[in-house]
A and B are shown apart, each in its own frame.
Chain A
Amino acid sequence: MGYTITEKILARAAGRDAVKAGDEIMAKPDFVLAYDFPGYTDVYFRQMKEEFGIDRVAEPERFGIFIDHMVPVATPKEEELHQGTRAWCAENGVELFERRGIGHQVAAEVGYATPGAFVVHFDGHISQLGTFGTLGIGMRRNVLEAFVREKVSIRVPHTVRVNLHGRLQPGVMARDVFHHMVRVLGPASCRFQVLELGGDGLEHLTTEGIQSITCLAMFTGALTAIVNPDKQRLDYALPRARKKLEPVYSDPDAEYTAVHDIDLSNLEPIVVVPPTPANTRNLSEYVGLHVQNGYLGSCASGRLEDMEIAARILKGRQVKSGFMLNVIPTSQEIMAEAARRGYVSTLVEAGAFVSSSSCDYCFGRIATMTEGQRAVSTGTLNVKGRMGSPDSEIYLCNAATVAASAIEGRIADPRKYL
Chain B
Amino acid sequence: MTLKNLRGRVAFIFEEDDFDVDQIVGVKNIKIQDVDELASYAMKTYDPDFAKSVMPGDLIVGGHNFGYGHPHYPPMKALRHLGISGVIAESFSPGYWRGEISMGFPQASCPGIRELVSRWDGIEVDWQEGVVRNLTRGTELPFEPLARADAQMLEAGGLVPYLKQTPAS
Residues on A facing B (Cβ under 8 Å): 24, 26, 47, 51-52, 124, 138-142, 144-145, 148-151, 153-155, 187-188, 191-192, 218-219, 221-223, 275-278, 381, 383-386, 389-390
Contact = CB atoms under 8 A, between A and B. Distances in A.
B68 A221 contact: yes
Interface in B92-113: 92-95, 98-99, 102-103
Nearest to A189: B65
B148 interface: yes
B68 A187 contact: yes
B95 A124 contact: yes
Interface of A is mostly: loop
A140 B92 CA distance: 15
Given A187-B68, A221-B65, A278 B93 contact: no
19 contacts: A24-B148, A138-B95, A140-B99, A140-B102, A142-B102, A150-B168, A154-B149, A155-B147, A188-B64, A188-B93, A191-B92, A191-B94, A221-B65, A276-B68, A276-B69, A278-B68, A383-B27, A383-B69, A386-B70
Contact of B94 (A51, A145, A223, A278): A223
Q: Which of B20, B26, B163 has the most CB of A within 10 A?
A: B163
B140 interface: no
Contact of A142 (B20, B22, B98, B164): B98
B18 interface: yes
A113 to B, nearest CB: 22
Contact of A384 (B27, B64, B65): B27
B22 A278 contact: no
A4 B142 CA distance: 30
A144 B93 contact: no
Given A221-B68, A275-B20, A276-B18, A52 B164 contact: yes
B149 A187 contact: no
Interface in B18-69: 18, 20, 22-23, 26-28, 30, 64-65, 68-69
Kindly state the interface size class of chain B when it binds its partner. 20 to 34
Nearest to A142: B102
Contacts, number: 95
B26 to A, nearest CB: 7
Contact of A192 (B18, B94, B164): B94
B99 A218 contact: no
A144 B159 CA distance: 8
B169 A151 contact: yes
A52 B160 CA distance: 9
B85 interface: no
Contact of B69 (A51, A144, A192, A277): A277
A104 to B, nearest CB: 15
Contacts of A192: 94
B168 A151 contact: yes
B160 A144 contact: yes
A371 B76 CA distance: 26
Interface in B138-169: 147-149, 159-160, 163-164, 168-169
A155 B70 CA distance: 22
Nearest to B22: A383
Nearest to B169: A26
A387 B163 CA distance: 36
Contact of B93 (A148, A149, A221, A390): A221
B159 A24 contact: no
Contacts of B91: 188, 191
A140 B98 CA distance: 7
The 6 closest A-B CB pairs, nearest first, are A385-B27, A153-B149, A188-B65, A390-B27, A149-B168, A141-B102
Contacts of B20: 275-276, 383-384
Given A155-B149, A383-B69, 5 more contacts: A187-B68, A188-B64, A188-B91, A191-B65, A218-B95
Nearest to A192: B94
A148 B163 contact: yes
A48 to B, nearest CB: 11
A86 to B, nearest CB: 25
Given A51-B160, A149-B163, A191-B93, A384 B22 contact: yes
Nearest to A154: B149
Given A139-B98, A390-B28, A145 B93 contact: no
Q: Which of B17, B92, B159 has the most CB of A within 10 A?
A: B159
Contacts of A188: 17-18, 64-65, 68, 91, 93
Contacts of A187: 18, 65, 68
